[in-house]
Structure 1
Amino acid sequence: MLNAVPDDEDPPDSGAATGSRRRGARGNDGVLLDVEGTQVNISSPGKVFFPQRGETKLDLVRYYQAVATPLLATLGGRPLLMERHPNGAGGKSWFQKRVPSSVPDWLRTTVVSTPNGTTSDALVAADLAHVLWAVNLGCLGFHVWPYHADTPQVTDELRVDLDPSPGVTFADVRHAAGLARNLLRELDIEAFVKTTGSRGLHLYVRLEPRWDSYQVRAGAVALARELERRHPESVTAQWWKEERGSRVFVDFNQNAPHKTVFGAWCVRPRVGGQVSAPIRWDELPDIDPERLTIATVPERLQAGGDPWREMYERPQSLEPLLELSRRDIDSGLMDAPWPPVYPKQPNEPPRVAPSRAKRE
């Protein structure tokens, strides 16, 4: 939740380049990269970021260079919330939505808002140089807005977050992903899947540029509720944790305005360097997310190509899910609860846990 995370107000190393223009030139301050004509300095390139195998900051840079094409296909041009771990995975960390005050003159930013109206200048993933500039600051995680900086009024991604409740296994999450895919296919919507780099899965749908974030969230609520109606033993749309049980929660509020989701192809701040990796549906039954790391994902990409390539070629309609939403509202259902940092919304039920409501 963007208004709940701290900002770093001190101006750390901005990554602005000086000195040699030779590609990969080494100097006292590290490695100077020429990234398609933009100079990016990587300081302390040998600093270990992922202690499980000893991979360094420069190894992380090389990873992002290896996956640059699909990475920018999914997050290019979008605002980024940076998760900074300057001493590597397992060390001190913080979320940072504001870029530091001292930055290179080529760095592109955009104004983003939080639910309470606070604004910030956020980094834009304009190109690979912007990503590597953030990596130099110790960014081990990019959380991505669902719109492009040029068109903030249009949300062009539906993101289905399958969140395992306590007692839920990854096999259960895989099963829920298949159920969600089947339902979406009934609605003539094709979803694409990625690991989260942890215990869950994300399904993405690239949308035609016609809807705003409120409409996309309404579609996500309708999808979650329909999945729960059809598969109540496996899937839940219940916002309150006390009502979820040992089921996979379809977190519809990940589509609320101003929310971000961990980016595809991005590396998690885990000691093993796990990646939130797009995969093909036929890989899902046997995939082990723990093995999708900065050491293995580039080779997978080279061998099999981008599993999400078709997603970018055919944006889809949200209208079938909005029709489900209208049906639910017409039958008397209220909106689903919003996160506590958001203003009270029209047709929203009381924002109080059911057990507390009973006591009161």
Structure 2
Amino acid sequence: MAELGTYLDKRDFGQTPEPSEAGHPSGVGLRYSIQNHRATRLHWDLRLEWEGVLLSWAITRGPSFDPSEKRLAVRTEDHPLSYLGFEGEIPEGNYGAGTVMLWDIGWWQPLDPVARGLKKGHLHLRLHGRRMTGDWNLILMKGRKSGDDKRQNWLMIKGDDEAAGQRDPVARYKRSVSTGRTFAEIKSEAAPKTPALTGKLPRLAKPQLATLVEDLADPGAYWHELKLDGYRAMVALGKGGPRVYTRSGLDWTDKFSSLVPAFEDVSCDAALIDGEIVAGAGMQGFSALQDAIKAGGPFSFVAFDLLSLAGTDLTDKPLTERRKALEKLMKPVPPMGALQVSPVIEGDPAETFGMVCESGGEGLIAKRRDGHYRTGRGKDWLKIKCRRRAEFVIVGWQPSSSRARPFASLALAAHEGDKLTYVGKVGTGFDEAKMDEIATRMKPLARKSATVEAPASETAGVRWLSPSLVAEIDYAEITAQGRLRHAVFLDLREDKPAREVRVEREVAMSDDAEKIAGIAVSSADRVIFDKSKLTKGDVARYYEAIAPAMLEETADRPLSLLRLPEGLEGERFFQKHPGKGFPDALKIVEITEKDGDAEPYAYVTDAAGLVGAVQMGTIEFHIWGARRDRLDRPDRLVFDLDPDEGLKFAEVKSAAFDLRDRLADLGLESWAMLSGGKGIHVVVPLRRTVGWDTAKLFCRGVASLIAEAEPMRFLSEMSKAKRKNKIFIDWLRNERGSTAIAPFSLRARPGAGVAMPIAWDALGGVRKANATSTKQALEHGWQGVDRPAPQTLGASVTEALERAFAALNDHD
């Protein structure tokens, strides 16, 4: 205890109640506390467990949640671990005489190496206390030491995070975090004050369970949350509570006793909260949770549903209402603390799912927004896993040829119907200590006969067990023969009895989903366009029906998809690069970007591809000007006539005719398309003889020629300020990677207009650019539209453009 020499030398343990023993490390997380010390001067003592002692600082004015506040923290002597929870009166005449209140307690997490931080004078840490949460910095004030050379002056500064900006903790917390006593009550040795809930403790409910599915759910009908890696738990608050129950109804309050006090911050008489207990203080994974259970913490509780509140049953309320009630209930709880609310992933979940999987996470849970809370497994809650993981019953073990290993592998099974079904073996994932533990627990379960039917060729030499132990297993898939492939042992599970372990197979996201072009379209009855009453199913059926016409121009081109996963009123975004979770019907082509990196792009070849994109929330399809077999050679030019808001559509039509005639003068024929918005596209089919630079330069030249000829009508610069009463000839769509709306694509605007090809002789009779409905598009298709054969952008065309510019200059 040489490192505690200063602490011991300063105290007479016959006089002070302070602990003299060293204490024991937690073995899992790093503990932390703050003691409010009313001595000669009131201050707050920060204690951080590190290498067998408590690193200590005296914060003279107490901590602040304001990141702009810098609070002086004087480094003091290291304290023993046993001091962590000390509270009491230090008598007069002793070092530090005065009253010590345990003001906060919990766990802490280094965000940078501690040894380096102490040496350099900057500790970056995260606190997981009852009161102090989030990121903090301890920074040494260089050259500013107190009279004692060993006492260093540091600054304690709050990080700018979700926990920043809370109410001043010094003013807010005046009582002990452990006993509820004031300074005066501690000094007088009054009995601890335990807050008592008065409401009736809610009856435990069986949990709602999620069905394993293949794909992400429709985000308009469902929201997504992270799938957590812990123990499902119901927490009952009320008289005699809190009580913590496992998914199967076991009372595990004692196992999670260090978490229970955190529920004192939840202000209510009674409640039943559904959630998940995970390893806390930055610890990750199911194995970390097992270690935390053995060590008594750290834990965190992530709440995701509220079943009852103050005696009122909420299970018949839609999820959205239950969520609002939960958020209101949990509002007083410190952010980034031991109690949290599961974040909802609004909008498109595909990107989040990809990031979760890349970082080694579990996956996502999809929950129907209007769903009621229903016990048991159903399709209002769905789970989409990055990797397969499930519980299996250990029914036997295979002896090992190595004396160092008590067994070679474990035989596994799960219930299908009324009987146990053999699913194979697991022989990896064990460390020495875990193998010894499993061997000890298997010994009293030995039996002579098997409890499952299994081929003798697979189970020769297996020593059978009564089906009691449950293991958590990671695996690649269940084969057609019903065997686990690439199984890895994770840990034993105590919260789920063997009789409840069942074989779980992925199912289609919704067996009752409407099949359109062979694609299961979820929430097909959800209205996308209110005015025209078009549902998601209507949109999918439209694209299935229009596919033969649409694919003539759209097939095999890289796409940008305008996705509105929550409908017209929700978030919208363009997506060029499809990620994990996209349907197989959307095909992928790798394209090298300007920076040299290859990125995936989607393309379609059939109706299933179009409908698959709709299932992911796509409304608009935007296409490249080249096909995937010759990405360096455009096969179409597009001039987008984009009018100022004040212009009438008649002027846009007139401009389209003028542009058609100007192109014809240059030797190029074109066809027209109503954009479905407010403009017109003029399209020139090309033979694939020139590259993007040539195409772009030519289109810029055409736009400039027209704008210079009639500057009061047109402009060729993308300038909102100069567009007043003019039409912008957008030629920028003719460069590599740029896109234009696909023919027959719906537009994500009220009215559900379609980008509709139109015959030149019919254009004059059209009243607006978004005049075409899906029904009209299906009736007319390409009817009457004379699409010219592909033309060459050769010398005769460029020379004609040069002559036109010369004539314009001569006229000037």
TM above 0.5: yes
1:135 counterpart (614, 618, 628)? 614
Question: 1:227 offset after TM fit, Å?
Answer: 1.3
The corresponding residue for 1:350 is: none
Alignment-derived partner of residue 626 in structure 2: 147
Residue 317 of structure 1 aligns with an amino acid whose one-letter code is T
Residue from 101, 105, 125 that aligns with 2:604 = 125
CA distance in 2, matches of 1:298, 1:210: 34
Matched, 1:248 2:727: yes
Given that 1:90 and 1:271 are in contact with CA atoms closer than 8 Å, whether structure 2 keeps it comes out as: no
Whether 1:299 and 2:766 are equivalent positions in the alignment is: no
Unaligned runs of 5+ in 1: 1-5, 21-25, 334-360
What do residues 113-163 of structure 1 show as CA deviations (whole Å, max 9, x unaligned)? 566666531111222211110011110111111111121111111001111
Question: Does the CA-based 8 Å contact 2:667-2:797 persist in structure 1?
Answer: no
Map of 1:41-56 to 2, 5 A cutoff? 41-56=520-535
Contact 2:715–2:729 under 8 Å retained in 1: yes
Hey, what's the Cα distance between the residues in 2 that align with 1:137 and 1:159? 28
Query: In 2 relative to 1, CA 266–318 (structure 1 residues): closer, same or farther, beyond 3 Å?
Result: same
1:315 pairs with 2:790 = yes
Question: Is the CA contact 1:113–1:258 (under 8 Å) kept in the aligned structure 2?
Answer: no
Relative to structure 1, is the Cα distance of residues 197 and 125 closer, same or farther in structure 2, using a 3 angstrom cutoff? same
Which residue of 1 is the match for residue 542 of structure 2?
63
Instruction: Report deviation, 1:327.
Output: 6.7
Residue aligning to 2:351: 9
What displacement does 1:176 show? Answer: 0.8
* Residues in 2 aligned to 1:307 and 1:79: alpha-carbon distance in whole angstroms: 28
State the partner residue of 1:289.
769
Post-superposition CA distance 1:10-48 (Å, at most 9, x none): 34999xxx989xxxxx96441123x4xxx3111111111
| Structure 1 residue matching 2:638: 3-state secondary structure | strand
- Alpha-carbon distance between aligned partners in 2 of 1:110 and 1:55, rounded to the nearest angstrom: 32
Bigger share in helix? 1
Distance 1:329 1:193 in 2: 25
In the aligned structure 2, how far is the partner of 1:307 from the partner of 1:91?
A: 37
3-state SS, counterpart of residue 193 of structure 1: strand
* Matched-pair contact (CA < 8 Å) for 1:156–1:211: no
CA distance in 2, matches of 1:307, 1:290: 19
Once the two structures are superposed, residues 53-89 of structure 1 have per-residue CA deviations (whole angstroms, 9 ceiling, x without a partner) of 2111111122112211220001111011111111222
Q: Given residue 791 of structure 2, which amino acid in structure 1 is its aligned partner? A: Q
Where 2:637 maps in the other structure, the secondary structure is strand
1: CA distance between counterparts of 2:705 and 2:805?
Answer: 13
Residue aligning to 2:641 = 162
Please tell me the root mean square deviation across aligned C-alpha atoms, in Å. 3.0
| Structure-2 change in CA distance of 1:85 and 1:251 (3 Å) | same
Q: Which residue of 2 aligns with 1:178?
A: 657
CA distance in 2 between partners of 1:84 and 1:105 (Å): 17
1:215 lines up with 2:690 in the alignment:
no
CA distance in 2, matches of 1:132, 1:100: 17
Match of 1:195 among 634, 658, 674: 674
Cα offsets for 1:274-326 (capped at 9, x unmatched): 1111111112112133331223221233xxx4444634xx1012225433566
1:83-98 matched pairs, under 5 angstroms: 83-98=562-577
C-alpha contact (below 8 Å) 2:671/2:786 kept by paired residues = no
Matched position secondary structure for 1:291: coil
Larger gyration radius, structure 1 or structure 2: 2
Secondary structure, counterpart of 2:775 in structure 1:
coil
Listed one character per residue, the Cα deviations across residues 302-359 of structure 1 (whole Å, up to 9, x for unaligned) are xxx4444634xx101222543356679999x9xxxxxxxxxxxxxxxxxxxxxxxxxx
Q: Quick one: structure 1 residues 271 and 90, their matched pair in 2 at CA, closer, same or farther if it must change by over 3 Å?
A: farther
Rate the CA distance shift 1:105–1:225 in 2: closer, same or farther, 3 A: closer
Name the residue aligned to 1:111.
Answer: 590
Contact 1:89/1:269, CA 8 A, preserved across alignment: yes
Give distance in 1, aligned partners of 2:643 and 2:596.
31
Greater Cα shift, 212-221 or 314-323? 314-323
Would you say the 8 A contact 1:10–1:100 is kept in 2?
Answer: no
**1:356 corresponding residue in structure 2:** none
Distance 1:29-1:325 versus aligned 2 partners, 3 A rule: farther
- The residue number in structure 2 matching 1:72 is 551
What SS is found at the alignment partner of 2:601? strand
2:700 aligned counterpart, secondary structure: helix
Give 1:354's aligned residue: none
1:196 Cα shift?
1.0
1:235-255 alpha-carbon deviations (Å, 9 max, x no partner): 222344444442111111121
> Contact 1:236/1:247 (CA < 8 Å) preserved in 2?
yes
Percent of aligned positions with the same letter in both sequences?
26
Q: Please give the per-residue CA displacement for 1:194-213, whole angstroms capped at 9, x wherever unaligned.
A: 11111111011110011111
**CA distance in structure 2 between the partners assigned to 1:168 and 1:223 by the alignment:** 22
Amino acid aligned to 1:100:
G
